[in-house]
Structure 1
Amino acid sequence: MTNQAPRDRAEEIVEQWRRERPDLDPTPFLVIGRLHRVANALTTELTRVYAEYGLGEGEFDVLATLRRQGGDCALTPSDLADQTVVTSGAATKRVDRLVALGYVERRPSGHDGRSRLVALTPSGRALIDEAFTAHMANEERLLSTLSTSERTGLERGLLALARSFGV
């Protein structure tokens, strides 16, 4: 007798569809269903760490986007929206909250007196440096069950899938 891992929910669902619709191949669900469940679980695990720093997912994303630009870089609200892949309205709400918390500031643009740039404050930079360190440790923890070759294979497969969607 072999030691087989117990079936997961995706396998049970595929088996049910095979029984109910033998004319269809439900095996794509083994990938898509698992991806969906893992994505939901990852979001929960990632946002838990952001919350430890008083941040939501969107606020963390804005701070990280500004921080990775380097130096004393400032971005327009449109650039922030593009880089964080949200609407300009959503980016504005995130920036408003971060301004209220003292983590970012709006500065006049040197090129256009009407436009504003968004930049990290010293406290925002300190916060994102600390939060990003914890975030990277959390991501390492979340992937620790995978071997190096499994990570590489997963990364390549996800890249191919992402490219097929143009994301």
Structure 2
Amino acid sequence: MNRCPGSRKVPHVDAQPEQPDELDALVGTLLTASRALVGVSARSLADVEEHVTLAQFRTLVVLHSHGPTRLNQLADRLGVGSSTALRAVDRLITSGYAERRENDQDRREVVIEASPRGSALVGEVTGRRRAAIEQIVLAMPARDRGGLVRALAAFAEAADEPTSTNADSATLLGW
């Protein structure tokens, strides 16, 4: 498997596309769509940017989705080093969005979790993001929506991303 920077494992495909122009058009269209989705994500965070960065929000989403988490698990889930995860966690704790406590199962361990304030922030931002995406989808011709669902589900599966059929709803909040 090849690994795309900052992503999950993506299978390597040796076969050359039969229609290179078609592949170029598809990749170009996906890049355009991804810019639109990045814009939606950025706008959904605009009201909270002075409180949390995108990286800190991503950390908060993982904590919210997975519950009490050890630092090394958090770093693995984020795909970053432990020191990077620790800096994000420290800032989230200082701002009241996360909490550090003793592990209930092993008192020698410390776990980090989203605070009620942090979970509320995840819900608020995710709600804004969902509403914005819904408006975009409603602006599409109805006849194209079914094809989009199938195409994006296949894309997510090829990228090894959790989907509504193979993950719980909390995991789908994550990155």
Same fold (TM over 0.5): yes
Aligned mates of 1:91, 1:102 — CA distance in 2 = 16
Contact 1:108–1:114 (Cα < 8 Å) also in 2: yes
SS in 2 for 1:74: coil
> What is aligned with 2:150?
156
| 1:78 paired to 2:78 | no
Q: CA deviation at 1:43?
A: 0.7
> What is aligned with 2:62?
65
Contact 1:105–1:120 (Cα < 8 Å) also in 2: yes
Structure whose alpha-carbon radius of gyration is higher? 1
Contact 1:46–1:138 (Cα < 8 Å) also in 2: no
> Could you give the per-residue CA deviations for residues 40-76 of structure 1, whole angstroms, max 9, x where no partner exists?
232122112213123333322333333345xxx3122
Aligned mates of 1:129, 1:161 — CA distance in 2 = 26
| 1:116 paired to 2:113 | no
Aligned mates of 1:110, 1:88 — CA distance in 2 = 25
Aligned mates of 2:75, 2:53 — CA distance in 1 = 16
| 1:132 paired to 2:126 | yes
Contact 1:62–1:95 (Cα < 8 Å) also in 2: yes
SS in 1 for 2:21: coil
CA RMSD of aligned residues (A): 2.6
| 1:50 paired to 2:45 | yes
Aligned mates of 1:155, 1:38 — CA distance in 2 = 14
| 1:103 paired to 2:97 | yes
Within 5 A, what are the aligned runs for 1:1-80? 25-54=20-49, 55-69=52-66, 73-80=67-74
TM-score, normalised with respect to structure 2:
0.65
Aligned mates of 2:149, 2:57 — CA distance in 1 = 23
- Greater relative contact order (CA < 8 Å, ≥ 6 in sequence): 2
Aligned length: 140
